Amino acid sequence: MCKRAICAGSFDPPTDGHLNIVARGLKVFDKLVVAVAVNTTKKSIFTPEERVEMLKEIFRGRENVEVDSFEGLLVDYARRKGIHTILRGLRTVGDYEYESQMALANKTLDPEIEILYMMTEGKYAHLSSSIIKEIITFGGSGCGMIHPTVEKRLKQKLLKVT
C-alpha cells in the first residue's frame, strides 16, 4: 500500500522551509501531493498557476511529488484525491494555535482525515513568505531562504527585473 499525504499551502512564494517539510515528509510517505491552495481572501503576488509552475520546476524529476492546486475546502480536495493524511509544517507557537483550530474543524468536516505536524528545522523557523517578499523588495538576497527559481521570479514581479 502506498502511503500518501497532501502538503497544502498558499506557497506565495514557496520558501526553503516549505521545501524542507516536503523533503522530510518524503522520508515518511511514499508520495506527497504539494497542493497550492487558491485563497481568495489573501492578496497574492503570484497567481495559483504561477505557483504551481514554480513548484513543478523545483520538483522536476521527483516521481514521488505531485504538484496540484485546489479551491475550496482541503478535506473535500483530499476526499477527491482519495488521500486521508494531511502533512503540515509548524514554525512557531502561533502556527500551532492556528493549525490546531484548523485541524479540529477539518476533523469535524471529515472524521477520517488525519493531520500530522512536522516541526520546521531551526534554520527555517524564521522564514515566512511575507518576510521573503520584504527582503526581495528592499534588494536583499534570498540565498538560503528560497530556491533560485523563486528568487528570480520574485525579482521579476517585485522589482520588474528581467
Catalogue the active-site residues. Answer: 18, 42, 91, 129
For 15, 26, 35, 66, 117, the CA distances from 11, given in Å and listed in that order, are 7, 18, 9, 15, 17
- Contact residues for 57 (Cβ-Cβ < 8 A; gap 6+): 149
Distance, CA of 71 to CA of 86 (rounded, Å)? 16
32: nearest Cα among 40, 58, 131, 45: 58
User: Which letter does DSSP use for residue 29 in this model?
Assistant: -
- Map residue 108 onto helix, strand or coil: helix
Distance, CA of 4 to CA of 33 (rounded, Å)? 8
- Contact residues for 130 (Cβ-Cβ < 8 A; gap 6+): none
